[in-house]
């Protein structure tokens, strides 16, 4: 794998995304609609921190499901998969798409956080910023590491739209439970040490998912 | 000319147990050329994809040797140029941007802005270099594929339906590329056009015998 080649592909994807808005439009619209729906549902209720943490990651999960698959689906739909296969090694493509999806998911979590802090200003108060930041960073990496390989798989299928969340949920359930637990601790103001166990699970998840995806990707990408 | 050889031995391809072709064997060296012909559905494009390393054969093997060294499938990208109907450029980029972006991804540091400009001039797209590919006609897109395929001066040039969508001037451009490639390396042409098949010294007829 060539580092310069990987970053050239990330640059291409970012440039392409700003021109086509394949994923960006879907992500922005989904975040706004989902947060507005939650706001209408809760009205003047005072949800607990664990409910808010759950709703936060529900928005991130479904928004990510609507946008992250585009990295491979758009290449497949435009017929440029073969062009990429001719210029880049499979490992280069995998890591480039992983980096792109990580950046996209991290930006998404930041956007959802800002929206939540604005809309639920009384209840969504981050009392332990360090715990929250580490959760968001590891959560984004975890989401991206799982969803990148799933996107590569579903891009080859005919029923992409329905297959993506269906395949993703069982793979992401461990990650979701862990990030929800860590986010609740951040909202409750528990000390950073209290969330270290969650972070260890997240780190293990990211490592296992990335290593497995790296080994599997070549078979998915070709044929 | 960098010496290059390709040996295809008993290659067969099946999709869902349906045999596309079987037992295709040939060998080629630098300066040689091969036409792959056959009726529609005989597997010409499938064979081209296998030769490019984009598909794996069900049976059989391929071996490339460049400058005396065997080349792994992953490294083939540096030695192969492909023009084919199923290869697409990025519509949201201009012709010039496509070549720049793909060269950077290929990480070929020998490709300079001057070489990219030459490639675009050679295919007659220099004046439209800053237009988005989505505004190109199908013939212009085909020309851009030639610029992309020839840019890194590949030892092996593979053309699948080489003159599709091209006007008379475009066909002259393709013949110039074919001539250039004969002095640089190996040429493989998959076609149904008997005139195009005459560009090559050898022929494989899928579903038939080698002539």
Q: What is the 3-state secondary structure (H, E, C) of chain A?
A: CCHHHHHHHHHHHHHHHHHHCCCHHHHHHHHHHHHHHHHHHHCCCCCCHHHHHHHHHHHHHHHHHHHCCHHHHHHHHHCCHHHHHHHCCHHHHHHHHHHHHHHHHHHHHHHHHHHHHHHCCCCCCCCCHHHHHHHHHHHHHHHHHHHHHHHHHHCCCCCHHHHHHHHHHHHHHHHHHHHHHHHHHHHHCCCHHHHHHHHHHHHHHHHHHHHHHHHHHHHHHCC
Chain B residues within 8 A of A78 when measuring between CB atoms: 88, 90-91
pLDDT given at position B24? 92
Chain B residues within 8 A of A89 when measuring between CB atoms: 74, 77
B139 touches B169 (CB < 8 A): no
pLDDT at A30 over 90: no
pLDDT tens, residue order, chain B (211 aa): 788 899 999 999 998 888 999 999 999 999 999 999 999 889 999 999 999 999 999 999 999 998 888 998 778 888 999 999 999 999 999 999 999 999 999 988 888 999 999 999 999 999 999 999 999 999 999 999 999 999 999 999 999 999 998 999 999 999 999 998 988 899 999 999 888 999 999 999 997 544 4
How far apart CA B179 and CA B174 sit, in angstroms, is: 9
pLDDT given at position A144? 92
Chain B (152-211) residues lying within 8 Å, Cβ to Cβ, of chain A: none
pLDDT at A208 over 70: yes
pLDDT given at position A24? 83
CB neighbour class for A60 (10 Å; exposed up to 12, middle 13-18, buried from 19):
buried
A160 band by pLDDT with thresholds 50, 70 and 90 = low
CA dihedral B90, B93, B94, B96 (to 10 degrees): -80
pLDDT given at position B208? 54
A129 band by pLDDT with thresholds 50, 70 and 90 = very high
Chain B residues within 8 A of A223 when measuring between CB atoms: 55-56
Pairing of strands B186-190, B33-37: parallel
Q: Any idea which of A20-29, A104-113, B30-39, B110-119 has the lowest mean pLDDT?
A: A20-29
Q: Three-state DSSP class for B66?
A: strand
CA distance A221 to chain B (A): 10
B187 touches B200 (CB < 8 A): yes
A123 touches A47 (CB < 8 A): yes
pLDDT given at position B211? 47
CB contact, 8 Å: B105 with chain A?
yes
pLDDT given at position A8? 95
A154 band by pLDDT with thresholds 50, 70 and 90 = confident
A95 is written with which tokens? 């890591």
Distance of CA A2 to the CA centre of its chain: 25
**Among chain B residues, CA nearest to A7:** B105
DSSP state of B124: T
Chain A residues within 8 A of B93 when measuring between CB atoms: 15-16, 19
CB nearest B102 (choices: A2, A19, A87): A87
CB nearest B86 (choices: A82, A84, A222): A82
pLDDT at A159 over 80: no
Chain A residues within 8 A of B89 when measuring between CB atoms: 80, 83
Nearest to B210 by CA among B28, B61, B54, B5: B28
Q: pLDDT (tens digit, 9 = 90+) per residue, A184-194?
A: 999 999 989 99
Q: Which residues pair with B63 in a beta bridge?
A: B7
Chain B residues within 8 A of A9 when measuring between CB atoms: 105
CA dihedral A130, A135, A141, A144 (to 10 degrees): -140
Instruction: State in Å, rounded, how far the first CA of chain A is from the last one.
Output: 20
CB nearest B107 (choices: A2, A79, A86): A2
Contact yes or no for A90 and B74 at CB 8 A: yes
pLDDT given at position B74? 77
Chain A residues within 8 A of B82 when measuring between CB atoms: 86
Contact residues, chain A to chain B, C-beta under 8 Å: 2, 4-5, 8-9, 11-12, 15-16, 19-20, 78-80, 82-90, 92, 222-223
Contact yes or no for B74 and A89 at CB 8 A: yes
Count A/B contacts: CB-CB distance under 8 Å: 70
pLDDT at A122 over 90: no
CB contact, 8 Å: B92 with chain A?
yes
Chain B residues within 8 A of A21 when measuring between CB atoms: none
* N residues, chain B: 211
A67 band by pLDDT with thresholds 50, 70 and 90 = confident
CA distance A63 to chain B (A): 24
Calculate mean pLDDT across residues A36-58.
87
CB nearest B88 (choices: A4, A11, A78): A78
């Amino acid at each position: 794998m060539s580092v310069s080649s990987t970053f050239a592909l990330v640059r291409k994807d970012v440039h392409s995304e700003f021109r086509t808005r394949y994923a960006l439009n879907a992500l922005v619209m989904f975040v706004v609609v989902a947060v507005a729906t939650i706001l209408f549902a809760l009205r003047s209720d005072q949800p607990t921190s664990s409910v808010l943490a759950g709703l936060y990651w529900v928005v991130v999960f479904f928004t990510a499901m609507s946008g992250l698959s585009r990295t491979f689906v758009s290449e497949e739909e435009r017929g440029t998969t073969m062009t990429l296969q001719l210029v880049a090694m499979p490992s280069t493509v995998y890591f480039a798409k992983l980096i792109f999806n990580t950046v996209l998911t991290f930006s998404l979590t930041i956007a959802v956080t800002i929206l939540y802090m604005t809309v639920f200003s009384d209840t969504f108060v981050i009392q332990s910023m360090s715990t929250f930041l580490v959760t968001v960073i590891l959560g984004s990496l975890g989401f991206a590491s799982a969803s990148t390989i799933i996107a590569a798989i579903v891009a080859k299928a005919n029923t992409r739209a329905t297959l993506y969340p269906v395949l993703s949920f069982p793979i992401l359930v461990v990650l979701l439970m862990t990030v929800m637990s860590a986010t609740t601790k951040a909202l409750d103001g528990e000390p950073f040490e209290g969330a270290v166990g969650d972070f260890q699970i997240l780190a293990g998840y990211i490592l296992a998912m990335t290593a497995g995806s790296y080994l599997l990707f070549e078979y998915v990408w070709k044929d | 000319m960098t010496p290059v050889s390709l040996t295809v031995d008993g290659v067969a391809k099946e999709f869902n147990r349906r045999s596309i072709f079987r037992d295709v064997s040939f060998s080629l060296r630098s300066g040689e050329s091969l036409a792959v012909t056959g009726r529609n559905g005989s597997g010409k494009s499938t064979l081209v994809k296998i030769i490019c390393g984009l598909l794996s054969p069900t049976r059989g093997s391929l071996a490339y040797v460049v400058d005396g060294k065997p080349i792994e499938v992953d490294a083939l990208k540096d030695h192969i140029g492909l023009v084919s109907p199923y290869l697409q450029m990025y519509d949201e980029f201009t012709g010039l941007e496509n070549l720049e972006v793909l060269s950077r991804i290929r990480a070929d540091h020998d490709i300079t802005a001057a070489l990219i400009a030459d490639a675009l001039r050679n295919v007659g797209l220099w004046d439209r270099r800053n237009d988005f590919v989505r505004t190109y006609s199908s013939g212009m897109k085909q020309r851009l594929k030639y610029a992309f395929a020839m840019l890194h001066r590949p030892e092996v040039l593979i053309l699948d339906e080489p003159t599709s969508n091209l006007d008379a001037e475009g066909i002259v451009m393709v013949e110039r590329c074919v001539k250039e490639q004969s002095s640089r390396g190996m040429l493989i042409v998959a076609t149904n056009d008997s005139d195009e098949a005459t560009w090559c010294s050898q022929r494989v007829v899928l579903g038939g015998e080698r002539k």
